[in-house]
Amino acid sequence: MDLQRIKYFLALAEQLHYWKTAEKVNITQSALSRQIQSLESELGLQLFERNKRNVKLTPAGKFLKEKWEVELNELEYIHQFAKQLHLGERGTITIAHPDSISASIMPDILAKITQAFPKLQIKLVQVLYENQLDFLKNYKIDLAITRDITSEQGIHAKKIYSDHLALVVPLAHAFKKFEDLSTKRLKAQKFILPTKDEGSSYSEIIQALFKSYDFVPDVFLHSEFGSTIIALVRKGLGIAILPDSYMHHQSPGLRFIPLPFKTDILINWRADDHNPVLANILKLVFEN
């Protein structure tokens, strides 16, 4: 059963006149007549009571007119929705991102997305560094924003930003600016650092930093969560090294001393993910 036929039927059910209807729907009266006939035989019922002079809906025809109008509208809407899915204007995407950027570039990215595609549904999740790629591969997330350079098979990655590392100390601390730092004075400090993850490019940078001062830090605590680290530093339990993105968080009582080391932020996605939503988001993120 062709939906076009139903549309012809609905037009005729309005007009109740073959010639006028045929003209309205841009076919000949003969074609319309036959379309209605096929529709009737297909359904095994009579839609119109008609003689050579008058056209009138049967009870079944009246019923179908009402129902089909609703159904066709419904279908119309469904098809529009599907089209939006196809164009990546609708749909859902799950993004994992590190805590550090939740107050700096994440808001920028999200603002861009919601402005360009207001109907998109975005799910934000926090995932442990070590799980990120697994989650991506297993379709638990669609996009992972990381500080780790990974060259996994089937995962594409691209740098979208980089920020400086900073030494984080309580306001009362003796370190006020970069020049205050020296190997000797740093050696005396207790450090709170991210979990040391072998092969993580982020922790490699931090190691490189200590190497430049030529000592091994006294690390009394590891934590993966920047917000935890910040809380501990504020309480005076030690000092930390964090990306200066954290400056954008509301963190009174702390001083960020920028260090000449940079850390990259990368965006990762499945190479074979053809979800149009993803394509749209990547385009947005990369376009400037």
Partner DNA sequence: ATTTATTAATGCGTATTTTGCATTAATGGA
Partner DNA sequence: TCCATTAATGCAAAATACGCATTAATAAAT
Residues found in the chain = 288
Q: Which two tokens stand for residue 180?
A: 């205050």
Q: Which two tokens stand for residue 257?
A: 């001393």
Name which of a copy of itself, DNA, none residue 51 binds, using a CB cut-off of 5 to 8 Å depending on partner kind. Answer: DNA
- The answer to whether residue 31 forms part of the interface with DNA (CB under 7 A) is yes
The residues near 41 (Cβ < 8 Å, ≥ 6 apart) are none
Compare residues 3 and 31 and give the one whose CB is closer to DNA: 31
In 194-253 the beta strands, taken as DSSP E runs, fall at 218-222, 239-243
Burial class (CB within 10 angstroms; exposed 0-12, middle 13-18, buried 19+) of 11: middle
Question: Which positions touch a copy of itself (CB under 8 A)?
Answer: 1-4, 43-46, 49, 58-60, 63-64, 67-68, 71, 74-75, 78-79, 81-83, 85-87, 91, 274-277
Residue whose C-alpha is closest to residue 91's, from 248, 280, 250, 287: 280
- The answer to whether residue 55 forms part of the interface with DNA (CB under 7 A) is yes
Name which of DNA, a copy of itself, none residue 27 binds, using a CB cut-off of 5 to 8 Å depending on partner kind. Answer: DNA
Compare residues 4 and 30 and give the one whose CB is closer to a copy of itself: 4
- The answer to whether residue 288 forms part of the interface with DNA (CB under 7 A) is no
- The answer to whether residue 34 forms part of the interface with DNA (CB under 7 A) is yes
Kindly tell me which residue out of 14, 19, 82, 152 binds DNA, with binding defined by CB under 7 A. 19
- The answer to whether residue 27 forms part of the interface with DNA (CB under 7 A) is yes
Compare residues 119 and 235 and give the one whose CB is closer to a copy of itself: 119
The residues near 177 (Cβ < 8 Å, ≥ 6 apart) are 257
Burial class (CB within 10 angstroms; exposed 0-12, middle 13-18, buried 19+) of 117: buried
Contact footprint for DNA (CB under 7 A): 2, 17-19, 26-31, 33-38, 50-55
